[in-house]
Structure 1
Amino acid sequence: MRRLRQLAARTPAGRERYVDLLRALAIVMVVLGHWAVAAISEDPTGRPTARSALPDLPWAYPLTWVAQVMPVFFLVGGYANAASLASRRAAGGDAVSWLLDRGARLLRPTTALLLVIAAGAAVASLAGVEATLVRTVGWFATIPLWFLAAYLVVVPLAPAMYALHRRFGLLVPLALAALVAAGDLGRALGPAELALPNYVFGWLAVHQLGFAWRDARAEPATEPPGRHNAPALRGVRTRRLPLSRRAGGAALLGGLTATVLLTAGPYPVSMLNVPGERLDNAAPPSLALLTLTTAQLGLILLLRDPAERWLRRSRPWQAVIAVNAVVLTVFLWHLTAAILLVGALDAAGLLPTPPVGSAAWLAWRVPWVLMLTVVLAALVAAFGPVEARTGPRGRSRHGGRADGSAAPPGRPRGDGRADGHRWRATARGALAAAGFAAMVYALVVNAETPRSAPEPLGVPASALVAYLAGAGVLRLLRSGWGSRG
């Protein structure tokens, strides 16, 4: 508590605390949503199995408009990435060093999860547990990694996308939304694979709105170049997100209206995956999800002022700091908590399996969530320090700058030395890109591998090797390797 009080007291006066609150709330809502819709039953062999209860609860589909909060995470991610990228560049750093630091916070807790799953799976396999069961458990435990795969694509693109934002403003997310609509049309008329680019276009569109929010706070009087443009064009090219209550009300009403019209037509009502639906609004993101994002953004703006006033109080702000210190650990381990609890209750012969939607099933939601909270708290206590210890780098062990540059600005160099510096910078950028690509490949392979596949390590061996290789390259680069001659 003393540490939290110190961190709260040192918070800069100009910090947008609301962004931190939204990040924490988004992850907590994802966790509670997954737990609440879990339907536990037994397979023909008597083993416990789990699935989503949503197909049996059509009345709950509209509730997913509130429960689907991944857009909120990408929105606040855009804000945070814009702020940290601008700060790094103002200090003389480069995009690669920024990317390595941003990636470290994501990768350390993820690596811990994968290594623990692989180690546990290896022990179970050696003990004679069949490989298909090992994979089933590993598959459930790694479901949260689908989100990380998308985010690990968005973050490396952030420097280039921020440059586009500085030039074209809100035209960029509008163009990306148009590409999402084209992808939806493609999967409606042809194979579903035509919408796969929406995984990038959709989340990038939301991420760009975070850029605009940050610029509205940092540069309230700045307008984009091109003062001779038509007024309407200047409006959509602005870099600043309108933050007024009037703008929030318009976004909420317009977004809800568009979402109602779209879901009354070709799009399903549920914003979460429902097996058997004609398409999934979130995987990949659809135009309906983007209109819902607009409505969510409107609500966020309407609540912003009272939330900021509330967060000026010490206790609420300390709670937000505490959650954000381990927010990714909470997200990554919340389904592992469910696996452990189901296993323990089944072993004790105390696992209830009431029919989905029954009074008994609904009543079981309360003790179920409370027990899961206790199990997850234990997991966070064990693995949270891995995430909490991840912070900005100081000076490298080789004496270089914290931002990864080889020398202070203005130091004279001979042509040969300058050429060598440029070559090293290019090589570092290429290696960083390869590292991120290897990890995205690994997470996609794991997600696409069936849960019934015989995988004695719980995850495909090729995926585990690719992930560890990519993470190892990034760790090596972050340590300062290759930044000096």
Structure 2
Amino acid sequence: MPRPPVVPHRRGMVDIAPRQTTTAAPFGGRASMARTSTDAIARTTTGAPTPSRAPRRELPVIGGARDIAIDTTRSILLVIVVALHAFMVGVSLDVNGTPLLENAMEHWSGWPVLTWFAQVMPLFFVLGGFASYTQYSRLRARGTTASAYISSRLVRLLIPAGAAIAAVTVFLAVLTVTGVSPDVIATAGFRISQPFWFLAVYIGVTALVPAMVWLHERNTTLSLLTLALGAVVVDIVRVATDIPAIGLLNLAFVWLFAQQLGFALADGTLDRLGVRAQRVIGVGAVATLALTMLTGFYPTDLYAALNPPMAALVLLGIAQTMLFLQLRAGLRRFGALPGIARVTCWIGDRSMTIYSWHMLVTIAIAGALIIAPFSLPTPVSLDWWLTRPLWFVAVGFAVFLVASLAGRLERRRVTAPAGRVATVAATLLAIAGVVATLIIGSVGAVWVIATAAVALALALVARRAPREISSR
């Protein structure tokens, strides 16, 4: 049976599921697929089948093989996110010489169209669900408990993110001490905080992986439909009551749906639909999304559908996932190229570092431009557009340098499993700290509180593991 191209196992990236294990057949015959269920193992050791109480859906057994398409796509999506955030930063001086730090896209009429191609967060969460499903199923097969899995994931997420939050705290303090305008400092804190919504949500959905996998095993279709319907109901109630805060409930429904769709991608459920059905579903999702926009129920700007998240992102996530399935074979060939594979592994080893630090790096460069001895172009003017290539190169190089240094924190970290109470407390503390920056990130003192909250969360779950435990 043909297998997808593989690359050597690397930290930070997720193994493919399911892995097909073969054993050689005698006399040169075809290899036979080795079964991984408990019954098969029992037959091997005892020669007789072990009675089973009830049929159970088998989870993938993960090994060292990798799905290059998943790894490559995740790296591409991260690059798109960094580039888009850099694209949005507008820095200039007004007629009075006062520094302006703003969202440049607020002045560009082409932005809503661009979001149809640049709003990649739904697929980001789908592929994150694939990663979580394969990792958790592998660790569970080894006897890892749910709390141990969650605590290890918290450490992996919070070390680079916590370092970035602490760096923002120092950055804002330096601006204050050096006499920078309070308005500029507040704007900088606000702009830097915005991408951290992803961290807060990702911590939450990651903490729910064991429970959501349990639901997925019982009824994949029902769990997906329930989450999707929940997102739609929230939108209807939000519009009917004109209470925007109700939409915050979709932080759970929308992103858990995307993660759950990633589970279905990982266990082969979506592959079994067939190419034709995948295309019909994808086209149907796009058509439905376009129709809801024409009626005015959802905005044409898909970034406006992000805060709070709307069910439009459920439709977008379905469409993006079906498109990924159509391109998967080509992505495997592309990702297998030696140069691309090296870049993918480098990004994968530092993915959370890149995401957590890129906005701080971008704002710092923008701040340096304010005091530079040359005039700055007005956002979305002709001169501004002409300088964008140089701006992207500068941001990309700076992010590369920071990720190369700070990325060491993200790798080769080993933790002993924390208890259930400590894990729950750490999860809530981390989310609270990050959410605080999102709500009032313009206040420097809040970043101090967030740093302390994340540090305490890490203290609850991060422990040095015994030497014999492998860091892999």
TM-score of Structure 1 vs Structure 2, range by shorter chain: 0.7 to 0.9
Mapping for residues 403-418 of structure 1, pairs under 5 Å: 404=417
Counterpart contact for 1:449–1:460, Cα < 8 Å: no
Q: Does 1:245 align with 2:268?
A: no
The answer for the alignment partner of 1:230 in structure 2 is: none
In structure 1, C-alpha distance between the alignment counterparts of 2:313 and 2:459, rounded to whole Å:
35
Q: Contact 2:234–2:249 at 8 Å: present in 1 too?
A: yes
Distance 1:355 1:138 in 2: 20
Rounded to whole Å, the distance in 2 between the matches of 1:16 and 1:355 is 41
Task: Give the CA deviation at 1:138.
Answer: 2.9
User: Which residue of 340, 362, 365 maps to 2:388?
Assistant: 365
- Corresponding position of 1:255: 285
CA contact (8 A) 1:310 1:316 kept: yes
Pair 1:108-2:159 in alignment: yes
Deviation at 1:389, TM superposition (A): 3.2
**Matched letter for residue 211 of structure 1:** F
The partner residue of 2:437 within 442, 446, 450 is 446
Matched residues, number: 408
1:22 paired to 2:87: no
2:192–2:363 Cα contact (<8 Å) kept:
yes
Deviation string, structure 1 residues 325-371 (Cα, Å, up to 9, x no partner): 11222222222222222222222223523242x32222121111112
Alignment match, 1:48: 99
**TM-score, normalised relative to structure 1:** 0.78
Q: Kindly state the Cα deviation for residue 241 of structure 1 after the two structures are TM-superposed.
A: 5.1
Shift of 1:385: 1.3
- CA offset at residue 382 of structure 1? 2.2
Q: 2:264 aligns with which of 209, 212, 219?
A: 212
Is the contact made by 1:251 and 1:297 (CA closer than 8 Å) also made in structure 2?
no
Query: Using the alignment, how far apart are the partners of 1:347 and 1:310 within structure 2?
Result: 43
Report the counterpart of residue 309 of structure 1 in structure 2. 333
Does the Cα contact within 8 Å between 1:113 and 1:332 map onto a contact in 2?
Answer: yes
1:68 alignment partner in structure 2? 119
Counterparts in 2 of 1:348 and 1:128: CA distance versus 1, 3 Å: closer
Contact 1:75/1:210 (<8 A) preserved: yes
User: What is the rounded CA distance, in whole Å, between the counterparts of 1:244 and 1:17 in structure 2?
Assistant: 21
Look up the SS of the partner of 1:41 in the other structure.
strand
Q: Partner of 1:353: helix, strand, or coil?
A: coil
Match in the other structure for 1:228: none
1:406-452, Cα deviation, whole Å (9 max, x unpaired): xxxxxxxxxxxxxxxxxxx8xx212211111011111111111162x
- For the residue of structure 1 that corresponds to 2:267, the secondary structure is helix
In 2 relative to 1, CA 343–130 (structure 1 residues): closer, same or farther, beyond 3 Å?
Answer: closer
Whether contact under 8 Å (1:29, 1:67) holds in the other structure is yes
> Which residue number corresponds to residue 255 of structure 2?
203
Distance 1:362 1:127, change over 3 A: closer
Other-structure match for 1:376: 399
Q: Does 1:432 align with 2:423?
A: yes
Corresponding position of 2:33: none
Q: How far is the alpha carbon of 1:142 from its aligned partner?
A: 2.8
Give the equivalent residue in structure 1 for 2:129: 78
Question: What is the alpha-carbon distance in structure 1 between the residues aligned to residue 154 and residue 121 of structure 2?
Answer: 19
For 2:173 and 2:74, locate their aligned partners in 1 and report how far apart those are by CA, in whole Å: 35
- Determine helix, strand or coil for the equivalent of 2:144: coil
Residues 1:7 and 1:182: Cα distance change in structure 2 (over 3 Å): closer
1:268 aligned to which of 280, 295, 299:
299
CA distance in 2, matches of 1:116, 1:110: 10
Partners of 1:271 and 1:281 within 8 A in 2: yes
Provide the alpha-carbon RMSD of the alignment. Answer: 2.5
* Conserved? CA contact 1:271–1:282, under 8 Å: yes
Please list, as runs of the form range in 1=range in 2, the aligned pairs for 1:88-167 lying within 5 A after superposition: 88-129=139-180, 133-167=184-218
**Cα distance in structure 2, aligned partners of 1:359 and 1:162:** 51
Q: Which residue of 2 aligns with 1:467?
A: 454
* Aligned-partner residue type, residue 83 of structure 2: L
Deviation of 1:31 after TM superposition, in Å, equals 0.8
How far apart, in 2, do the equivalents of 1:467 and 1:250 lie? 44
1:303 offset after TM fit, Å?
A: 0.2
Alpha-carbon deviation of 1:52? 2.2
Structure 2 residue aligned with 1:388: 411
Question: Could you give the per-residue CA deviations for residues 218-240 of structure 1, whole angstroms, max 9, x where no partner exists?
Answer: xxxxxxxxxxxxxxxxxxxxx55
Q: Aligned partners of 1:97 and 1:47: how far apart in 2?
A: 51
The answer to whether the 8 Å contact 1:186/1:194 transfers is: yes
Report the 3-state secondary structure (helix = DSSP H, G, I; strand = E; otherwise coil) of the residue aligned with 1:50. strand
Give CA deviations for 1:33-66 in whole Å, capped at 9, x if unaligned.
1122332233576343322233322333122111
Per the alignment, in what secondary structure is the counterpart of residue 361 of structure 2? Answer: helix
Shift of 1:130: 6.0
Whether the 8 Å CA contact 2:8–2:64 is kept in 1: the answer is: no
DSSP-derived class of the 1:197 partner: helix
Instruction: Confirm or deny: 8 A CA contact 1:330 1:376 kept in the other structure.
Output: yes
State how far apart, in whole Å, the 2-side matches of 1:440 and 1:288 are.
25
- Aligned to 1:51, the other structure's residue is in SS state strand
How much does 1:194 deviate? 1.4
The answer for unaligned runs of 5 or more in structure 1 is 217-238, 273-279, 397-403, 405-424, 481-485
Q: Which residue of 2 aligns with 1:400?
A: none
**TM alignment of 1:211-230, pairs within 5 A:** 211-216=263-268
Change (3 A) 1:148 1:66: same
Deviation sequence 1:117-171 (CA, Å, 0-9, x none): 2233334444555655444333322322111001111001110011000001122
Q: Is the Cα contact below 8 Å between 1:442 and 1:464 reproduced in 2?
A: yes
- What secondary structure is seen at the aligned counterpart in 1 of 2:194? coil
What amino acid does structure 2 have at the position aligned with 1:370? Answer: V
In structure 2, C-alpha distance between the alignment counterparts of 1:74 and 1:37, rounded to whole Å: 22
SS in 1 for 2:97: coil
The AA in structure 2 aligned to 1:443 is V
Which 4+ runs in 1 deviate beyond 4 A?
Answer: 5-8, 10-13, 126-133
Q: Does the 8 Å contact 2:104/2:379 carry over to 1? A: no
TM-fit CA distance, 1:104: 1.6
